Structure 1
């Protein structure tokens, strides 16, 4: 019996190797991992070898926020891992301004950190990162958010950095971001967010990174001096480009022959920019009314296979067909008219084109319309696409009405289109009503 009791009480986990115990602690939040120091002598120092640490503000059940600065202060100084794979520090307004977060970042850099996430939302002024940040040879991914002052030295080198995220930070001067980007010879992904509530000291944001493959750029459209903002993109190897909310900006774009995916949301295009998109395969435009000149400026999107349009003006349906005429290999075409369903409730105009776009007769396989309101011009356009799409496999129409009777009426109208006498083969098409 004693032997059985001894086996029941045996602590087999504590007998595991340090490496296995570290892997177990990586499955729980950092705060819980540190708490294991009180379990026994065996656990006292295990957490100090964790290669990944996260310090985030947490919300209590009564809605209050528990700041982690004090916990970070007490625990991080005890950390002894020779290599830090990932450090995440997120501090909110509850963090006192007398705290010195820079020393924590400096220590992480001394431990050869590979991935650093630092988010500071305290009530104090933006802080400078330690100079060693700009010379870290092991740093591969870096995220800086909010109350960070990007003050880049004249001589800087980040030879391993592949991903950089600059979220609403402040730059010391107009050239700080230029020096930072030029110091990253293997940078692959860059995300930049600028906010109207943050004066970041930059008028011309220039992205000249030969190694860059993906660029996400977002700037608040309500900048008071948005007309004085410029964006320069010179990235010849770029594969993916996402631009959001740069309404009113001026910009210059060099040719990007390898561009595959483009997502545009609120942008005033120019001819140079439009032509730089001629090689894309996947394109999303919002709102389409601003993009209408693209239909005429670029007469051949020869590689485009998937296109999504956010339609805010019903009078632009004919422009959709102009766009389709320029996309000879298009296989997937999606329209979302929900954003404009209250903007213009007039009858709309529809003139059937004299020739059928090539993509409809030979390539289009998937057609979707989100936010269908049953207006006459919508019905005519959808009817035209269904009747002339010889390769169509799936057609998904999603009504925007919340009234069951009105929705049922739309469904009946749409289903009747499949029974219209036509020589087009629609036997494999499926009408998908997802609401």
Structure 2
């Protein structure tokens, strides 16, 4: 007779809240990896969690609601309620982005002022409300611990007479308004260790500055974007840029509406992006001779002689946008001044219809073609005679070429594209370079 089986003993499972037994330091570290709104929501979990979030060193408040949603509330209300309880002794980051839902009858910067009462390292403040630009607290301009500062949109930069930002290394001034012409000068002069500066000036913002002067001996990186060109409907006032940054390594200028750009010599400049429609001064052009990477936008017949008069002895990669039709021969002059060039990319921005230009064969071959050039690209090829002969010249003389890319002009029909591709493929290549096309899947 088989033995009767004993019933299996049922063990009662006990749910243990192990995470709540962790130390405050570990819980804070966990909450730093979730959005601030979710971190604050943990206060409802239990008494153990009630005040953990209040010790977070990084807080982010960003407008995410759509104004068309009538039930939505601005993030301002969440900011105003939670900051009352926050008590961390140090703030590594305070990120505030208030949008058009933000009420216009509140003190939007009061919590910034409170945060500045303790050590604050990084402040990002963007204001997009429907009211007028507002001032930041004066204590912002004397914060000893601030290392990164971003001010964006409806903010007035009103710099007091006493200003000192001894730790500030990165500064972004994005479409802000300056109280007076020299406000930005006083601000920049108070930043002795500033390394990175980004300035954006928009056409829809009258920022009260005609000459933007950047004199920062410590600056390594400068980005300047300007689309301002008028003060009112009847009076056009063009703005100017002055740069005095001897240690600068990286420069990015976009300025189609400025009057001039005056600079002091920048011997350390290694990476330059220049997209302007006015002629830079001699010191600026001399500084380009030291660059290793160079992007030139809006290059026309008036600018080519200036850029071609420079010897780019260290240049490795060059991008250039052509805005006039008769510049292919000038490109050979440019190449002759770039003995170490490895990558050369050309983009055509001009109309190509009804132009047939002659090509005069250069008497010598640039050194970079015979010993360095590895990548060549032509964006906007339409099959004009001078374009065709320039590309033929590149392929026949570039001994180190590894890849040549031709991006065909979109105005060409399929039959024209096929004909152009076959013509280009038949050209003699001195190297075993790969010839690529972007329009048709042709091997």
TM over 0.5: yes
Aligned to 2:187: 180
Aligned to 1:241: 251
Once the 2 structures are TM-superposed, how far is the Cα of residue 393 of structure 1 from its aligned partner?
Answer: 1.7
The answer to whether the aligner puts 1:356 opposite 2:368 as a matched pair is no
Bigger helix share:
1
Once the 2 structures are TM-superposed, how far is the Cα of residue 26 of structure 1 from its aligned partner?
Answer: 1.9
Change in CA separation of 1:119 and 1:325 when aligned onto 2, cut-off 3 Å: same
The answer to whether the aligner puts 1:408 opposite 2:408 as a matched pair is no
**What do residues 256-279 of structure 1 show as CA deviations (whole Å, max 9, x unaligned)?**
111001101123123412122221
Aligned to 2:269: 259
Matches of residues 107-122 of structure 1 in structure 2 within 5 Å?
A: 107-122=114-129
Q: Distance in 1 between matches of 2:194 and 2:373?
A: 37
Once the 2 structures are TM-superposed, how far is the Cα of residue 61 of structure 1 from its aligned partner?
Answer: 11
Q: Distance in 1 between matches of 2:353 and 2:416?
A: 19
The answer to whether the aligner puts 1:10 opposite 2:16 as a matched pair is yes
Q: Distance in 2 between matches of 1:140 and 1:318?
A: 49
The count of aligned residue pairs is: 424
Once the 2 structures are TM-superposed, how far is the Cα of residue 349 of structure 1 from its aligned partner?
Answer: 3.3
What stretches of structure 2 of length at least 5 have no aligned partner?
1-8
Change in CA separation of 1:255 and 1:309 when aligned onto 2, cut-off 3 Å: same
Q: Bigger CA drift: 130-139 or 371-380? A: 371-380
Please, which of 144, 151, 155 is the counterpart of residue 148 of structure 1? Answer: 155
What stretches of structure 1 of length at least 5 have no aligned partner?
none
Contact 1:288-1:310 at 8 Å conserved across structures: yes
Please, which of 270, 286, 307 is the counterpart of residue 295 of structure 1? Answer: 307
Change in CA separation of 1:345 and 1:87 when aligned onto 2, cut-off 3 Å: farther
**What do residues 370-422 of structure 1 show as CA deviations (whole Å, max 9, x unaligned)?**
232333322211111111111112222222438554443333222222xx2x6
| TM-score (norm. length: structure 2) | 0.90
Change in CA separation of 1:383 and 1:257 when aligned onto 2, cut-off 3 Å: same
Contact 1:295-1:319 at 8 Å conserved across structures: no
SS in 1 for 2:323: coil
Q: Distance in 2 between matches of 1:2 and 1:25?
A: 38
Change in CA separation of 1:191 and 1:40 when aligned onto 2, cut-off 3 Å: same
Q: Distance in 2 between matches of 1:187 and 1:328?
A: 34
Matches of residues 302-317 of structure 1 in structure 2 within 5 Å?
A: 302-317=313-328
Aligned to 2:111: 104
SS in 1 for 2:315: coil
SS in 2 for 1:408: helix
Once the 2 structures are TM-superposed, how far is the Cα of residue 343 of structure 1 from its aligned partner?
Answer: 6.1
The answer to whether the aligner puts 1:48 opposite 2:38 as a matched pair is no
Q: Distance in 2 between matches of 1:63 and 1:397?
A: 48
Change in CA separation of 1:16 and 1:265 when aligned onto 2, cut-off 3 Å: same
SS in 2 for 1:110: coil
Matches of residues 225-240 of structure 1 in structure 2 within 5 Å?
A: 228-240=238-250
Contact 1:84-1:114 at 8 Å conserved across structures: yes
| TM-score (norm. length: structure 1) | 0.92
Change in CA separation of 1:40 and 1:353 when aligned onto 2, cut-off 3 Å: same
Once the 2 structures are TM-superposed, how far is the Cα of residue 27 of structure 1 from its aligned partner?
Answer: 2.1
